[in-house]
Amino acid sequence: MTRQPTVAARAEQLLGSSVVATSPVAGGDVATAVKLRLSNGRTAFLKTLTSAPPQFFQREAAGLRWLAETTEAGGVATPEVLGADDDCLILAWIETGRPGAEAAGAFGRALARTHLAGADGFGAEHDGYIGRLPMLNRTLPTWAEFHAERRVAPYLKVLRDKDMISAEDAAVIDTAAARAPEIVPVEAPARLHGDLWNGNVLWTNDDRVVVIDPAAYAGHREVDLAMLALFGLPQLPQVVSAYDEVAPLADGWEDRVAYHQLFPLLVHACLFGGQYAARAARLAGRYL
């Protein structure tokens, strides 16, 4: 590791500890990421984004802390937040390893306990972000309303405005979203990670799972499970089986997985192209 003076100085301002060395690391699609070695012996992860949207990193930090409130009761593990400001976020470093069956089972049980911690109403106190897109979180009394108005409609509007979805596909998705009361069983709000795809699940070198990059809010618990399935998660059957031991899933949940994938597919369409919108429409067509 070398030492990038500008990066090190910014980290030192937030941490109150000297940075001995820095090195760039892979940080996902949005931010630039750096590994920090500190004079106190700790290792940290810093990510930054030029001209970040308002409260971008603070919202992520708040989501991590909200999920971490469940850890002592056996909920999901998150990296410790060491510092957050308008331009960057600093977390404790996580040493990754290979997926294992024991860690998968423990993760499933922990995710169930986090979901069961619940929240008041569907949504969150503040709006947030998913990837670099704004995410509306103002609470609504039912999941059906929240799903249609906060999770489907805003991204469908972006796609329509940018002519990235056909009128036919948009109509199919609109119709399916409106049918949520018929499709999704009524449950209490669950404490969700909100963006729980494979890349945000870290398998550690001490056989644990730590989740990162949340878009946290209170929603229907099947959403997180559907997100895990969307792009594939190692050991997913073990995760779901262990989850079901702690918080048994409602009958027919497997048939609703594709329905809960509409939102992340629309987000991907806004970020990466209309092919994801067509995929969302094909899934939505199953529920008409």
Residue 130 identity (one-letter amino acid): I
Q: What is the DSSP string of 129-194?
A: EETTEEE----BSSHHHHIIIIIIHHHHHHHHHTT-S-HHHHHHHHHHHHTHHHHSPP---EEE-S
Residue 135 tokens, joined: 């995410």
DSSP state of 25: E
Residues whose CB is less than 8 angstroms from the CB of residue 254 and which lie 6 or more positions away in sequence, other chains included: none
DSSP-based three-state secondary structure for 7: helix
Catalytic residues: 195
Residue 78 tokens, joined: 């998150």
- 8 A C-beta contact, residue 230 and residue 205: no
